[in-house]
Homo-oligomer: A and B are copies of this chain.
Amino acid sequence: MLFANKLRQLRVKNDLRQRQMSAVLEIDSGLYSKIERGERRAKKEHVVKLAHFLHVEEKELLTLWQVDQFSNAVSTDYRIATNAMQIAYDQYKQLNTQKHEK
């Protein structure tokens, strides 16, 4: 739960209450509590809002959040998963360079 952990860390560091956070996101505070513990997933828009509110780079939070999405998608043996991740990564890396070439 990279995202959840980071979120709590940032909130505590800034001495903020969950209630304030949930107000910013306009969600129930119980739900926020769950998000912060990784029991529920934040929406992409939430991640963006949080980044602004906490003065961190959107990119940073979105990356952690995306990592969690990937972890969540693991549904095989860790060997197979690792292997597959490597392949998936290579695919994307390539996509990256292709786009840069244009």
Contact = CB atoms under 8 A, between A and B. Distances in A.
Q: Count identical subunits in the complex.
A: 2
Interface stretch (A6-14, A18-26, A29-37, A92-100): A92-100
A34 B57 CA distance: 40
- Tell me the dominant secondary structure on chain A's binding face: helix
| Smallest CB-CB A-B distances: 4 pairs | A66-B84, A73-B73, A70-B88, A82-B92
24 contacts: A59-B80, A62-B76, A62-B80, A63-B76, A63-B84, A63-B87, A64-B84, A65-B76, A66-B74, A66-B75, A66-B80, A69-B73, A69-B74, A70-B73, A70-B84, A70-B88, A78-B92, A78-B95, A78-B99, A81-B92, A82-B89, A82-B92, A82-B96, A85-B85
